[in-house]
Structure 1
Amino acid sequence: MSSLSLTLSGAAREAAENQVPGLLDHEFASRLAAKDHTLWGVEAEDEASRRLGWVALFEDSRRLLPQITQLRLELATEGITRVVLAGMGGSSLAPEVICATAGVDLTVLDSTDPQHVASVIGTEIEKTVLVVSSKSGSTVETDSQRRIVQQAMTDAGIDAASRTVIVTDPGSPLAQQSAEAGVRAVFEADPTVGGRYSALTAFGLVPSGLAGADLESLLDDAEETLAILSEDDADNPGLRLGSAIGGTAPLRNKLVITDAGSPLVGLGAWIEQLIAESTGKNGTGLLPVIVADGEPELHRDADDVLVTQIIDVEAEDGASVDNDIADAVVTSHMVRTGGSLGAQFMLWEVATVVAGSLLGINPFDQPDVESAKTAARGLLDAEAPETGDSVVDGAVAIRALGSSALTGADTSTLESALKALLESVPQDGYLAVMAYLDRTGETELESLRAQLSSLSGRPVTFGWGPRFLHSTGQFHKGGPHVGAFLQLTTDSEGDVEVPERPFTLAQLISAQAAGDAQVLADHGMPVLHVHLQDRQAGVTQLVDTVESL
């Protein structure tokens, strides 16, 4: 049986009390369940009409399970037990949390950092099956990763096609190409489900099932929960949560997310992408800020912050939906939610589209994700851009872009540049750390987030590039322009060739970083680019400098 708990306090509860009656008048929940594409206004109707398959996917998804199980058994008999998933954004974040929560191994390859990719292809390639997840196959990161892993297999004397599984939309270029190549299997997903809503489609299920996760329980819990979320009822947790995050007045648009003992490992990262990419547009939106448990105390009383705790329902005896907080410990403007993973997937998807309606935006498009992609493609096709007025300090080179609040300040040393960046954060703004580095090998950089948050007095996000471009990257450009940005890049000691492409991974990640920084700067926001000329020494210098501020 699915478990679901939702408790609201302060502004979150007030927003639900104010907004839910109007949603009930419009029969929002039942119309959503009926795939009514008019719920988000005239401008969103065309997109919405093609993106509501996620509210009725269970029959098709269950049909996949025997195929996934059979393929897993076949691979196991051949000694193939390591699953590597090449995919970005919605194609990788759901499988990552499904497998982490289930305690089964899945290697997610969503980076273009040469050091990170080299470590993946240098490990147990003889035991590896590659799952390539992409709706079209045209995503440059996923295409590059596919080519590199398949080449590594070929170099090891392995028939790469027999070790490749494809998840894509029917009739896509990737589907056609894969059929011609004779890959091991092609799974076709529902084309009416957008990437970030695809957790319970083939995109979420195939890699997770091959890795050994229990998919039947996941789908059972989700379907049971969706029945609750489809009711036009004042206690509907989807309506209440969507109202809490999207209906506060004034809008509390920094959604600080903390894991408060939840068994759902990494759920915050999935929520981050779902909400940031769905709502960050037209100068509005919600910015998820993932923090450690207890850390929201820094910003709990800020008038633009709403704290969300992901709790362990069983530990708190919260096996049912409870809309009034009885726990006296919770006294702030807060959302607390917990339950099974399938229940949480459905709850947050419904809440996100409810919030989109209240914000007056289309929750199914991502117009500003493409801007950084376009800039990166332009840099790949052109000569290397000028580095600008960079200053070298020890192992790092520093360059200030965008707002005159930063470009006009003293950025002659790393210390002075960081101080200037902190001072450039607007009173109602945030700071984003964007690390185009190895997210598995340089995790010490994540400590910068909490330190910078304390120094700035504002929420700070941390994203690994290019992974975050498919998540908070949309909010950075499409949401309110109140961000300040610390971009980290490096030179790689070794590079990785991309077979049959005119660029290497080092060139690709450099173009992605430069393109993203330029788009942000063109929007007039402060961007401090810190390039680690010596990778290890630069990381140490950066961490030490922040600690000394």
Structure 2
Amino acid sequence: MNAPELWKRYQASLCRVPALDVSLDVSRMGFDDDAIARMRPAFDRAFAAMDELEKGAVANPDENRMVGHYWLRSPELSPTPEIAAEIAETLDAVAAFAAKVHSGEVKPQRKPRFTRVLSIGIGGSALGPMFVADALGSPKADRLHAHFIDNTDPDGIARELERIGPALDETLVVVMSKSGGTPETRNGMLVVAEAYRKAGLDFAKHATAVTGEGSKLDQTVAKEGWLARFPMWDWVGGRTSETSAVGLVPGLLQGLDMKGLLDGAAAMDRATRVHDVAKNPAALLALSWYLATDGRGAKDMVVLPYKDRLLLFSRYLQQLVMESLGKRLDLEGNRVDQGISVYGNKGSTDQHAYVQQLRDGVDNFFVTFLRVLEDGGDGREVEPGVTPGDYLHGFLLGTREALFANDRRSVTITVDRVDAQTVGALIALFERAVGLYATLVNVNAYHQPGVEAGKKAAASVLEIQDKARAALTAQPRTADQVAEAVGAADSAETVYLVLEHLAANGRARMSRGANPGLTTFQAV
């Protein structure tokens, strides 16, 4: 295709959302002219399913739940007045609490004001807030400096506490867990609470929670008298929770424009309800994914934002896309092994990383470019008439062209700037695209059986660890012998691995043999 033909195709295929200054270019995805017409019956079903979801239908049949993240930014669309009232009341309550924190009316035990906020969560309770904090935050403008603990890695927790340092006594902690029993979040909370105790501080006087009503965490909040508690509803999944209290609490405490984010999401929701694929950017994205991957995840999605503020967007999208679409079974119980793998970093860093393979290596991907028109910074020229932003934009267009010249497909999303409204719009755009694509491939986008299976497997490992550690004596034993002693003969490998870990942390003794089968373990 020559340049004039490409220009015509670009103009014909560009989908714009004027209210948001957002556009989607699919001209380089290799659509044939009748692709949209051919897929129209499938999209009619997807649009209908989405309409029913927004009206309150049970869209997550495995858990018999409604799926209501779209109501969070448009409460008037909620299926009941009670839900609409809860959403509005929660937003007001979070905003009022943040205002009291900023004014010093709600203050820490010893200091006149909170200056930092530490969010403890995992998965959707961390990736969304972290992305938004980084995208919209400013060291000079933030009301509270943001910190995050998003794992059960003790070294990672210790490092974040070191970053906080002596400011622990002016740090407000937000613990986020729907059930209150999520191990990673619980462990982070316990370690942080102990740090407060060691500093002579009452953790409850520095803590808030976002959790389900009646959860273990909710009970702890009530018993210990924490500063506040905000709801996490069962009709909002973790990976679609950024416009709920999960995102609102840390965002408003940081001082971010979360109302603008909600407004941007609501505006994109309106634009993506249109039952016309060519005029609906989420539908065009879903169509792009379907055609690029043959509707079965045959290619990976590479996310390349050419803006440092959007660095964490690819991590956010990894969970949103992969946890939603990565399913072994379809809605009828047939094995389909669906999913789309997502990875990415940022431009132009990737000019010096994996773009070489993207252009010249295995053709197992399609790219999603994120193009931001406004440079930011001070506009300084590094050459006559050329700014660093010009270079960045040039690298984006050059990479897009180089990939296309080698028959590599790409989508380009263009926004004017990275602000709260834009970030909300991007979140809503991909949420809707995931939902539509899931209907096209007939999977449940709103459950996560693989994640639950991993949690159960981890629990069984810890049970074996407890038994193996209790079985250690002064007499050296191999992993096979310990496994036999605890009735886990079929799990000798797991026994070896957990004992090796215990030994590395001073909780067992190990004498390495010529191979793992000859290595012995003893009690400390």
- Distance (whole Å) between structure 2 residues aligned to residue 274 and residue 81 of structure 1: 31
Partner of 1:276: 322
Deviation at 1:29, TM superposition (A): 6.4
Q: Does the CA-based 8 Å contact 1:131-1:167 persist in structure 2?
A: yes
- Please state whether the residue corresponding to 2:101 is helix, strand or coil: helix
Partner of 2:122: 88
Residue 101 of structure 2 aligns to which amino acid in structure 1?
R
Partner of 1:233: 276
Root mean square deviation of aligned Cα: 3.4
Partner of 2:411: 335
Out of 197-206 and 54-63, give the one that drifted further: 54-63
- From 31, 56, 60, the equivalent of 2:71 is 56
Partner of 1:528: none
- From 67, 74, 84, the equivalent of 2:96 is 67
Partner of 2:304: 258
**Mapping of 1:371-410 within 5 angstroms?**
371-383=453-465, 384=468
Structure 2 vs 1, CA of residues 78 and 260 (structure 1 numbering), >3 Å: closer, same or farther?
same
- Work out which structure has the larger RCO, using CA pairs closer than 8 Å and 6 or more positions apart in sequence: 1
Residue 311 of structure 1 aligns to which amino acid in structure 2?
R
Partner of 2:152: 112
Percent identical among aligned pairs is: 28
Gapped runs of 5+ residues in structure 2?
1-18, 76-86, 139-144, 329-336, 376-388, 391-399, 416-421, 470-477, 481-492, 495-499, 509-524
Partner of 1:441: none
Q: Does the CA-based 8 Å contact 1:205-1:215 persist in structure 2?
A: yes
- From 78, 100, 106, the equivalent of 2:134 is 100
Gapped runs of 5+ residues in structure 1?
318-326, 389-400, 403-488, 496-503, 507-549
Deviation at 1:4, TM superposition (A): 1.7
Paired positions, count: 387
Structure 2 vs 1, CA of residues 336 and 311 (structure 1 numbering), >3 Å: closer, same or farther?
same
Residue 7 of structure 1 aligns to which amino acid in structure 2?
D
Deviation at 1:309, TM superposition (A): 1.4
Q: Does the CA-based 8 Å contact 1:254-1:288 persist in structure 2?
A: yes
Structure 2 vs 1, CA of residues 249 and 208 (structure 1 numbering), >3 Å: closer, same or farther?
closer
Deviation at 1:127, TM superposition (A): 1.9
- Please state whether the residue corresponding to 1:190 is helix, strand or coil: coil
**Mapping of 1:22-61 within 5 angstroms?**
22-26=41-45, 28=47, 31-32=50-51, 35=54, 44-47=60-63, 50-58=65-73, 59=75, 60=87
**Are positions 1:154 and 2:197 aligned together?**
yes
**Are positions 1:243 and 2:283 aligned together?**
no
- Please state whether the residue corresponding to 2:303 is helix, strand or coil: strand
Q: Does the CA-based 8 Å contact 2:324-2:444 persist in structure 1?
A: yes
**Are positions 1:298 and 2:374 aligned together?**
no
- Distance (whole Å) between structure 1 residues aligned to residue 438 and residue 306 of structure 2: 26
Larger C-alpha radius of gyration, 1 or 2? 2
Q: Does the CA-based 8 Å contact 2:42-2:440 persist in structure 1?
A: no
Q: Deviations over 1:253-274 (max 9, x none)?
A: 3111122236434111111111
Deviation at 1:347, TM superposition (A): 0.2
- Please state whether the residue corresponding to 2:270 is helix, strand or coil: helix
TM-score (norm 1): 0.63
Out of 112-121 and 273-282, give the one that drifted further: 112-121
Partner of 2:40: 21
- Please state whether the residue corresponding to 2:178 is helix, strand or coil: coil
- Please state whether the residue corresponding to 2:447 is helix, strand or coil: coil
**Mapping of 1:294-373 within 5 angstroms?**
294=351, 295-300=354-359, 302-314=362-374, 331=404, 332-339=408-415, 340-373=422-455
TM-score (norm 2): 0.66
Residue 245 of structure 1 aligns to which amino acid in structure 2?
W
- Distance (whole Å) between structure 2 residues aligned to residue 138 and residue 306 of structure 1: 38
Deviation at 1:7, TM superposition (A): 1.2
Q: Does the CA-based 8 Å contact 1:256-1:289 persist in structure 2?
A: yes
More helix by share: 2
Residue 438 of structure 2 aligns to which amino acid in structure 1?
G
